[in-house]
Amino acid sequence: MISTKGRYALRMVIDFARQGEEACVPLREVAERQGISVKYLEQLASLLIQADILRSVRGPHGGYVLIRPPEETNVGDILRAAEGSCAPVACLEADFGVCPRRSECETFSFWEGLDKAIEAYVDGVTVADLVPVH
Amino acid sequence: MISTKGRYALRMVIDFARQGEEACVPLREVAERQGISVKYLEQLASLLIQADILRSVRGPHGGYVLIRPPEETNVGDILRAAEGSCAPVACLEADFGVCPRRSECETFSFWEGLDKAIEAYVDGVTVADLVPVH
DNA sequence: CTTATATCCTAGTTATTTACTAGGATATAA
DNA sequence: TTATATCCTAGTAAATAACTAGGATATAAG
């Protein structure tokens, strides 16, 4: 299940995109519009910076800017940045290593298929698809 | 993310299916083969009975029996029975009610689409697909 | 009718994760 | 110098996960 991290991160990015291309938007404004605390958004923004989705401008009139236009940022990248992973089971996460039951596991290929279906969907939607036309 | 409930429930049903059609299998055996405690499996079996996937036989030589043949039981039904839901976000669960942000929410349709992709996948795989041919 | 074996049912318990809040350090435009 | 931002690390309350525990109930076999 997707937690508030992923859900709020997506809403934040959509909010940025709505303010216009290359707009520098402070979290105070996003927090007010979205009803989420600045402090929590800060943590999510930091994850999105690490994932090269946002960049920041410090000081007065500072804020965050989308690195790429909304059409070039897909939702999968945002969710993976915020959640760590979109994998439906732990054994499919990057840092899990090799499962000791792997060779005898009859469900592994099923989970792999589910993971692919999820990735295909989330990577097939861009932020632009979710920003209402002005 | 799918918890041990869903993952173990699926492994248990596959284990039942491997013992043959209409076989009555006690949890003691499944527990031994799968490395999961009888007590935990009991709870999961109870959920699968409520969902009309298993039926039980009490007493010595008792156990659990698959109600339908493996080809007619899909994995989605097992996961929904064990997990309560396969929905990726809380607002898509049956008992959530109407979200107060629903009318202004720009992400709802995205989550709905993800939910449909997940349901289509899990409902498209049957237990028979996961039981290795003997 | 006793016994062994199974399911059934409800609680409790420990560890982890979630969803934040708190407090300050750092940068910078005016 | 000051106000306004981001940045960074900890802490914390509540919920969830992943079980274990203890017994009640049913039933086949002797």
pLDDT, tens digit (0-9, with 9 covering 90-100), for A21-48: 899 999 999 999 999 999 999 999 999 9
Q: At B82, list the tokens.
A: 């064990």
Shortest Cα distance, chain A CAs vs residue B106, angstroms: 6
pLDDT confidence of B105, banded at 50, 70, 90?
Answer: very high
Geometric angle at alpha carbon B79, from B74 and B82, rounded to 5°: 130
Average pLDDT value for residue range A1-8 = 97
Please say if the pLDDT value at position A94 is more than 90. Answer: no
Average pLDDT value for residue range A74-94 = 96
CB contact under 8 A, B107 and A14: yes
Which residue, B18, B75, B64, B71, is CA-closest to B41?
Answer: B64
Tell me the per-residue pLDDT of B47-99, one tens digit each, with 9 for 90 and over. Answer: 999 999 999 999 999 999 999 999 999 999 999 999 999 999 999 998 888 88
Give the whole-angstrom CA distance, residue A70 versus residue B64.
53
Average pLDDT, chain A: 96
Give the whole-angstrom CA distance, residue B54 versus residue B29.
16
Question: What per-residue confidence (pLDDT) applies to B55?
Answer: 98
Protein-to-nucleotide distance from the CA of A58 to the C1' of D3, whole angstroms: 13
Residues in chain A closer than 8 A to B90 (CB atoms):
1
Please say if the pLDDT value at position A126 is more than 80. Answer: yes
Average pLDDT value for residue range B21-45 = 97
Which residue is nearest nucleotide D19, judged by alpha carbon to C1' distance? B40
B-chain residue closest to A112, CA distance: B121
Give the whole-angstrom CA distance, residue B63 versus residue B22.
11
Please say if the pLDDT value at position B134 is more than 80. Answer: no
pLDDT confidence of A95, banded at 50, 70, 90?
Answer: confident
Question: What per-residue confidence (pLDDT) applies to B95?
Answer: 81
Please say if the pLDDT value at position A134 is more than 80. Answer: no
Residues in chain B closer than 8 A to A10 (CB atoms):
107, 110
Q: Give the closest of A11, A117, A122 to B121, CB-based.
A: A117
Protein-to-nucleotide distance from the CA of A23 to the C1' of C2, whole angstroms: 83
pTM above 0.75, yes or no: yes
Q: Give the closest of B7, B120, B130 to A89, CB-based.
A: B7
Contact B73, B16 (CB under 8 A): no
Tell me the per-residue pLDDT of B2-32, one tens digit each, with 9 for 90 and over. Answer: 999 999 999 999 999 999 989 999 999 999 9
Question: What per-residue confidence (pLDDT) applies to B132?
Answer: 84
Q: Give the closest of B75, B110, B117 to A110, CB-based.
A: B75
Q: State what percent of residues in chain A have pLDDT above 90.
A: 89
